[in-house]
Amino acid sequence: MSEESQEATLRAIERELPGLEVQPLRLQEIRARLAAEADGAHTPRGDNGRGGGGQIDLAGLYLASECRDGNPAALALFDALHMRQVDAVYARLRPPSLTLDDARQMVRSRLFVRTPERPPRIGSYRGAGGLATWTRVIATRLLLNATSNKGVRHERPTSDGRALEQRTDRAADVEMDFIRLRYGEVLTQCLRTAAASLSSDDRLVLRWQLKGFSAAEIGRLRGVNMRTMQRRIVDIHERLAATLSEELRSRSINAADGRSLLRALIDELSLGSMSSVSPKK
How confident is residue 157, by pLDDT bands cut at 50, 70 and 90?
Answer: very low
User: What does the pLDDT look like over 95-148, one tens digit per residue?
Assistant: 887 899 989 998 998 899 888 778 889 988 988 778 998 999 888 888 887 776
- Residue 221: what pLDDT? 83
* Phi, psi angles (nearest 5°) of residue 96: -65, -25
Contact 127, 72 (CB under 8 A): no
Q: Quick one: average pLDDT of 238-263? A: 72
What is the percentage of the chain residues whose pLDDT exceeds 70? 68
User: What does the pLDDT look like over 117-129, one tens digit per residue?
Assistant: 788 899 889 887 7
Q: Quick one: average pLDDT of 167-180? A: 46
- Residue 112: what pLDDT? 92
Signed CA dihedral, 110, 212, 146, 259: sign only: positive
The DSSP output letter for 123 is G
Q: Which residues pair with 271 in a beta bridge?
A: none
Say how many C-beta atoms besides its own lie within 10 A of residue 252's C-beta: 8
